[in-house]
Amino acid sequence: MISVEEALARVLALATPMPVETVPLAAAAGRWMAKAAEARRTQPPFASSAMDGYAVQGPAATGARFRVIGESAAGHGFAGSVGPGEAARIFTGAPVPDGATQVVLQEDVTRDGNDIVIATASANANIRQAGDDFAAGFRLQPRRISASDVALLAAMNLAEVPAHRRPVVAIIATGDELVMPGDTPDPDQIIASNSFAIKALAEGVGAEARLLPIARDTEASLRAVFALAEGADLVVTIGGASVGDHDLVAKVATDLGMERAFYKISMRPGKPLMAGRLNGMPMLGLPGNPVSAIVCAHLFLLPLLRAMQGEPAPAPAPRRAVLGADVAPTGPRTHYMRARIEDGVVTAFDRQDSALLSVLAEANALLIRPLGDGARKAGEAADYLPI
């Protein structure tokens, strides 16, 4: 068995960044931007009013009187200029007229026909200067594009961005015991749940996921389903990677040309993890137990998908908290315990069996218990991964 760290390094070595394509801005959220984007316009492009009020040559003293000579609205600026003793009615976001240096809030004036009188003086200019946000030529560095980034890119006057293509993941659940949700299982069958979680996790980091038919415990069935993965960028199998009589994934994958990077890692849950390259395509063989499969997906599949999209630091980043309860020694494998993190305190659940999805659904963290570590008391520091 190899360590988690070595296994992750070998998994990431399988990654080849996806080709770059041009993506419409409306479809860019969640994509990894392939190169820096450069603003084609200054924002704001002109001095604009931050409030509704009157644009004047300031400072406007209490009792000062100004004659209103025009109006400036968003999208409809005032074409003239404002001189001493003159004002232009102005609205939020509208261009500040030439000559004006201050916007007096509408609630701070009294209007009398075409005149206004300053009722309350203020030193605030209430003007957003041109380029307050960014100037033309500003560069947004590569990143996974968020909703806020989309707004920024739009303000930069960019209708499209270069992004790495979404990797296509073919997901193969294996086992005679599995039936799809909604079907009627035989007394000795269970519902296939893992593949749906793996699909959701993959899509959550930007991949496109294809659920292939369940592969039954025969070489012929496995070969047939593997053939359906043609055209994918990554194949993920679930179950069948152990050494039992019905665990055929490793044999069939090897027969089909898989070059194995490793098999088995010193962690729990998730010891029977397999990775390699199948005819040039990365392959990850996840364990069949539900929690094992999902924990391994967090630790290995998601970093692999992030690396395939060009993310420079794809590995999970542990965080630090204090233990909310005592924990036992770990033994010879690193233990990723389902836990809750709240207010800087991480508490492992009492039940840690790798088949308990109900416990996993309540967890928002994996408490990391290093291999060979002794018992730890509540209040001691510990590492965890948010999930």
Q: Residue 302: name the closest of 317, 316, 312, 286 by CA.
A: 316
Q: What is the 3-state secondary structure (H, E, C) of 326-347?
A: CECCCCCCEEEEEEEEECCEEE
Average pLDDT over residues 298-319: 96
> How many Å apart are CA 225 and CA 91, to the nearest integer?
63
- pLDDT higher than 70, residue 241: no
pLDDT tens-digit map of 214-238:
999 999 999 999 999 999 999 999 9
Q: Residue 251: name the closest of 174, 304, 305, 190 by CA.
A: 174
Q: Residue 360: name the closest of 226, 234, 269 by CA.
A: 269
pLDDT tens-digit map of 54-109:
999 989 999 999 999 999 999 999 999 999 999 999 999 999 999 999 999 999 99
Q: What is the pTM of this model?
A: 0.87
The DSSP bridge pattern shows strands 127-128 and 48-49 to be antiparallel
